[in-house]
Structure 1
Amino acid sequence: MTNTATLVLASNSPRRRQLLALGNWKFDVIVSDVDETQLTGETPKDYVLRLAQAKALAVAGKANPEAIIIGSDTAVIDGDEIIGKPKDEADAERMLKQLRGKTHQVYTGVAIYRMSDGKTLTELCVTDVPMRPYSDHEVQAYIQTGDPLDKAGAYAIQHPDFQPVESMRGCYASVMGLPMCHVVRTLQKLDVPPRADVPTACQRLLNYECPVSGAILSGASNG
């Protein structure tokens, strides 16, 4: 990576900023604004990959000509249904009750766009998320914090009090919005190696012993 090249994160998410910082790269944040409406017949995979690419391209006109732009989109999937952000508290309650006590999937698409030659690489991470059987009272208490209202599926996996997830065997960072091992292996294809031990830093930050990082970094897994 040359001295003039700069990573750009096309997201306003503080969680994504926190995760990308684990690589110890210098990066800028340029907020993207794209229509997130699902297209007719669009699969969850196609949906998150399309939006990730759209977010990266949306900020290209504001970025350094040598920039490498990272776009990401995360969706909560229950069966074939894409569950977005709740419209209001009642919608958040509906979503949380729909998801409790069963396993859903989180799809995160990543698109990395190199301005200098227009090359775009994409990654998809799919993680099973088993939710615990939390009570109606816990749902109401969590909604009163305001935290669910800007979250896909109306929850944050890392919320210290609610802690909605029972257990996991996949990429925790992906559920937070940015699967860092996927980002690392994609940036390496563009000759941008990490400047830190990302798997170790990620597990320390999330207090999570990740069972999939090695397989992802070796290219043997997408989960």
Structure 2
Amino acid sequence: MNELNDLFPNITLASASPRRYKLLQQIGLKFIVSPSQIQEPELDGKNIEDIEKGVQELALKKADYVAQKQGTGLIIGSDTTVVFQSKSLGKPKGRFEAKRVLNMLSNGQHRVLTGIALIDVNRNKRKVWCEGTNVFFRSLTDTEIEDYVSSGEADDKAGSYGIQGKAAVFVERIDGCYFNVMGLPLASLVQEMRILGSSSM
């Protein structure tokens, strides 16, 4: 990713997510982390179009918060949620809720939405978009759900699971970007960074 590091010598990830951190490291980006302090509103009860708009707005708020604090460079903001039957399933408030969510997702399809915001502070340019991935779960047993939730993996995950961990065995197939389910759609992120960088030259 030398090309992107040259285009954007100062990149900041506006997220404390260890998964997003690892994904950016994986593709060789040089960046620092400065988590935003934006409160995440509830998106429950809205239709999918509203949820898509909501994750984009929240990603932009996160990026904008850090952009105002940093005052320079490229800021990457993002927000991920799981949508089941047009309802947003964020991070569980407790393990009882995590079990309830996994029971709902068992033997069915849900959609993972990630809103991404890029703010190029130096050139006063920005790009915001949403990416969706359909995920299909096999039928889960009560014991599997209990063991998974007891492991603690569900605690800080949208939809109460992480595809990159023990819950990998829950997934029959996906339609869309795998990395989007982890919190950052890498292919579209790199593409949009290139477009933003080239349009600024």
Q: Which amino acid aligns with 2:184?
A: L
CA change 1:89–1:118 in 2 (3 A) is: same
TM-score by length of 1: 0.80
Identical amino acids, percent of aligned pairs: 37
- Which of 51, 61, 79 is 1:54 aligned to? 61
- Which of 33, 48, 54 is 2:37 aligned to? 33
Q: Distance in 1 between matches of 2:165 and 2:91?
A: 16
1:145 equivalent in structure 2? 151
* 2:115 corresponds to 1:106: no
2:15 equivalent in structure 1? 11
- Which of 28, 31, 34 is 1:24 aligned to? 28
Deviation at 1:22, TM superposition (A): 2.8
CA change 1:129–1:139 in 2 (3 A) is: same
2:73 equivalent in structure 1? 67
Unpaired runs of 5+ residues, structure 1, are 193-223
**Correspondence 1:39-188 to 2 at 5 A:** 43-63=50-70, 65-160=71-166, 163-188=169-194
Contact 1:49 1:110 in 2 (8 A): yes
CA change 1:109–1:162 in 2 (3 A) is: closer
Deviation at 1:62, TM superposition (A): 2.9
Q: What is the alpha-carbon root mean square deviation over aligned residues?
A: 2.0
Q: Distance in 2 between matches of 1:176 and 1:94?
A: 21
Contact 1:142 1:162 in 2 (8 A): no
The structure with the greater share of residues assigned to strand is: 2
The structure with the greater share of residues assigned to helix is: 2
Residues 176-196 of structure 1: per-residue CA shift (max 9 Å, x gap): 00000111011001227xxxx
Deviation at 1:66, TM superposition (A): 3.2
Corresponding residue SS for 2:64: helix
Q: Distance in 1 between matches of 2:69 and 2:101?
A: 36
CA change 1:41–1:172 in 2 (3 A) is: closer
